[in-house]
Amino acid sequence: MVTLSNRLRQISPGGEDGWDIFNRARALEAQGIPLTDLTVGEHDIRTHPTILSAMAEAAHAGQTGYAATAGTADLRARIAARVSERTQVPTTQDNVLVVPGAQMALFTALMGALEPGDPVLIPDPYYATYPGTVRAAGGRPVALVTRPKDGFQPTRAALEAAGDARAVLVNSPNNPTGAVYGPETMHALADAARDRDAWLISDEVYDTQVWTGAHQSPRALPHMADRTLVAGSLSKSHAMTGSRLGWLIGPADAIAEMATLATYTTYGVPGYIQAAGCHALSLGAAFEAEISAPFLRRRQACLDRLDRQQVVRAIPSGGAMYLMLDIRGAGLSAPDFAARLLDQHRIAVMPGDSFGRAAAGHIRVALTLPETRLLPAFDIILSFAEEMRP
């Protein structure tokens, strides 16, 4: 009997993979059982009709054939202008590769950076796909465990003590913690990459969701544009998750070589989706603020509620559509806490353990439901933690 490659099997090792609560929530929903689902990093609104109309118009106007595999000139230029404006790093369309979503940008960046077996340093907690993406690209993920007391930010000392790496994979604002890395952390990460002659791969998909401090792209630090690959997307900024429209930013020669990979994988992105992306970007900063505003508002309402009790604490965070809560005071492990919360109250949250080792004792609450549903559920989470307290 012919078998699948070990490589494929090892991308996503079986067993307890942190998605147990998520999968149980999906199963309950499939049975029609009402649920307050705070697991998913996706807006509670749909893509704006004006963007969808732009897509339909482009399709009906004939943009239905093969598009240039690196992206249309129009979209690449608009993305370049946006990145130039937001980071002050001169960026042209030759620095931009359009891909079907930031996840494909990360895969492409890792395929470009790694020889088989190369180590990749990943601050832990991390977005759940990172280790598997590194393995899919033939590399070896190495978690750099951060501490709650450091706000889950990697320290210079820890980075200096870490082993060799061919790439450092960074995500700020961070999923799952919401941490926004300030200049000190980013400088330490940049130095860690430079000291190892490694690539810095920066996932910046939450860069329009920064509530305190400012977004710092490591590409904008001195001498870093030549070794930084930035993954971006319209998913979170423009509520276009399902359209799979993202990009990779990097040195022009690296982007040109990585564009060839698209010929052998996705063969480009639909032209009408790229036209929709052009229209979305043309809507400007006011539109983006409108998309992100609910998360800031909900975050504040949740933080206000935390002030009224002593068991659950928020870790210091400044961005993204999540709150990471320290529930160690409740005396349960995070998976147990989440499982019992789901069983007893039909509220689904992600255990911190789903995102590496560092966030044990924490849960991630996605702020992705309207206040009328989020806040009553949040109150139940707090009172449940109080009840559980030993």
In the set 120, 240, 323, 358, which binds a second copy (CB under 8 A)?
240
Q: Helices 252-263 and 102-113 meet at what angle, rounded to 10?
A: 110
With vertex at residue 206, the alpha carbon angle to CA 160 and CA 337, rounded to the nearest 5 degrees, is 80
Does residue 70 contact residue 76 with C-beta atoms inside 8 Å? Answer: yes
Amino acid at 25: A
Q: What is the per-residue DSSP string for 115-160? A: PTT-EEEEEES--TTHHHHHHHTT-EEEEEE--GGGTTPPPHHHHH
Applying CB under 8 A, does 291 fall inside the site for a second copy? Answer: no
Residue with tokens 């130039």, as numbered in its chain: 84
Task: Between 70 and 311, name the residue whose CB sits nearer to a second copy.
Answer: 70
Nearest approach, Cβ of residue 281 and a second copy (Å): 17
Applying CB under 8 A, does 77 fall inside the site for a second copy? Answer: no
CB atoms within 10 A of CB 120: 26
Q: How far is residue 212's CA from residue 306's CA, in Å, rounded to a whole number?
A: 18
Applying CB under 8 A, does 322 fall inside the site for a second copy? Answer: no
Amino acid at 162: A
Task: Between 113 and 385, name the residue whose CB sits nearer to a second copy.
Answer: 113
Applying CB under 8 A, does 266 fall inside the site for a second copy? Answer: yes
Contact string 105-124 vs a second copy (x = CB under 8 A): --x---xxxxxx--------
Applying CB under 8 A, does 258 fall inside the site for a second copy? Answer: yes
In the set 11, 28, 339, 360, which binds a second copy (CB under 8 A)?
11
Applying CB under 8 A, does 136 fall inside the site for a second copy? Answer: yes
Q: By rule CB under 8 A, what count of residues binds a second copy?
A: 70
Applying CB under 8 A, does 320 fall inside the site for a second copy? Answer: no
Q: Which of residues 199-218 bind a second copy (CB under 8 A)?
A: 199
Nearest approach, Cβ of residue 126 and a second copy (Å): 13
Applying CB under 8 A, does 54 fall inside the site for a second copy? Answer: no
Applying CB under 8 A, does 236 fall inside the site for a second copy? Answer: no
Stretch touching a second copy by CB under 8 A, among 53-61, 86-94, 173-181, 373-381: 53-61
Applying CB under 8 A, does 370 fall inside the site for a second copy? Answer: no
Q: How far is residue 200's CA from residue 198's CA, in Å, rounded to a whole number?
A: 6
Applying CB under 8 A, does 243 fall inside the site for a second copy? Answer: yes
Query: Which secondary-structure segment (H or E) carries 363?
Result: strand 362-366
Residue with tokens 């806490």, as numbered in its chain: 337
Q: How far is residue 120's CA from residue 144's CA, in Å, rounded to a whole number?
A: 10
Q: How far is residue 302's CA from residue 379's CA, in Å, rounded to a whole number?
A: 9
Applying CB under 8 A, does 25 fall inside the site for a second copy? Answer: no
DSSP 357: S
**Residue 15: both structure tokens together:** 């067993």
With vertex at residue 145, the alpha carbon angle to CA 141 and CA 332, rounded to the nearest 5 degrees, is 115
The CA distances from residue 311 to 49, 342, 381, 387, in Å, are 43, 19, 11, 10
In the set 70, 72, 96, 101, which binds a second copy (CB under 8 A)?
101
Applying CB under 8 A, does 1 fall inside the site for a second copy? Answer: yes
Nearest approach, Cβ of residue 377 and a second copy (Å): 20
Nearest approach, Cβ of residue 315 and a second copy (Å): 26
Q: How far is residue 165's CA from residue 186's CA, in Å, rounded to a whole number?
A: 17
Applying CB under 8 A, does 63 fall inside the site for a second copy? Answer: yes
Does residue 311 contact residue 382 with C-beta atoms inside 8 Å? Answer: yes
Residue with tokens 């339909």, as numbered in its chain: 56
Applying CB under 8 A, does 261 fall inside the site for a second copy? Answer: yes
Nearest approach, Cβ of residue 263 and a second copy (Å): 6
In the set 76, 215, 219, 227, which binds a second copy (CB under 8 A)?
227
Applying CB under 8 A, does 104 fall inside the site for a second copy? Answer: yes
Applying CB under 8 A, does 50 fall inside the site for a second copy? Answer: no
Site residues for a second copy per CB under 8 A: 1-2, 4-9, 11-12, 42-43, 46-47, 49, 52, 55-56, 59-60, 62-67, 100-101, 103-104, 107, 111-116, 129, 132-133, 135-136, 138, 197-199, 226-227, 239-244, 254, 257-258, 260-261, 263-273
